[in-house]
Amino acid sequence: MISPNELFSVSGKTAVITGGTRGIGFDMAMALVSNGATVFVSSRKENAVASAVEELAKHGTAYGFAADLGTVEGAKLLADFVSSKTDKVDILVNNAGATWGATLEEFPEEGWDKVMNVNLKGPFFLTQKMLPLLKEAASKEQPAKIINVASVEGMRAGQMETYSYGASKSALIHLTEHLALQLAGRNITVNAIAPGPFATKMMAGTIQMAGEDTIAGMVPLKRLGQSEDLYAMVLYLGSPASNYVTGQTIALGGGLGTVA
């Protein structure tokens, strides 16, 4: 019988994590590299990439590349960089994200387009550009894995006036299902994580405005998400433990998006 260590192992895997220099993305990169995976992280800022790679490299092999993944050109540049270092990608984590808040009367086109480009267009075109590397890693016995980072805001209407954010994440959940159907025959699974509130840089403004206790009070489990919650999820979805799971969105919000 296979042991839990083997079942949840990512040792020897190659993983790409967008938005992997801070917050949720960095936590997932740390979980993977600390358990034997080679990781590539990206973000728009070169100094953030360099700092993250320096920290990740203390635990294993890590590379970084600065790219704007809200553009097709940025997706191609990242895929080309990864291709220069490896001939396969076992795990692609589409985590890079953006948000924008404004009243309905004042919400700008710029805020709509920026969020949609990063949160929806980016994952689609990076998946497209990474397909050759994913197919090289994929087999019936050991599928390659795509993990999209959605949000509980994409599972139900939120109270914040972040209109393009919730819409983009809802669309990403649908895209996850569509890609899962299309890629199953190529031995690539596609699943999504839908986080609730975590104490990340993206959430910092909301937490400061509303207060951490108020935000935590909205969660049925009455707390914000912790790094360990992400470690467990990415190891599950990136390892053989999830080989027979595809097209699913798993809410990681302490009950938000599912019971509240």
Which DSSP string corresponds to 234-249? HHHHHSGGGTT--S-E
CA distance 10 to 37: 6
- Spot the catalytic one: 165, 231, 236, 244: 165
CA distance 260 to 250: 15
CB atoms within 10 A of CB 29: 31
Q: Which of 214, 216, 218 is nearest to 198 (CA)?
A: 216
Q: Is 231 a catalytic residue?
A: no
Angle at 125 between CA 112 and CA 187, to 5 degrees: 135
Burial of 176-196, coded b for 16+ CB within 10 Å and e otherwise, reads bbebbeebeeebbbbbbbbbb
Sign, CA dihedral 11-12-13-16, equals: positive
Tell me the catalytic residues: 165
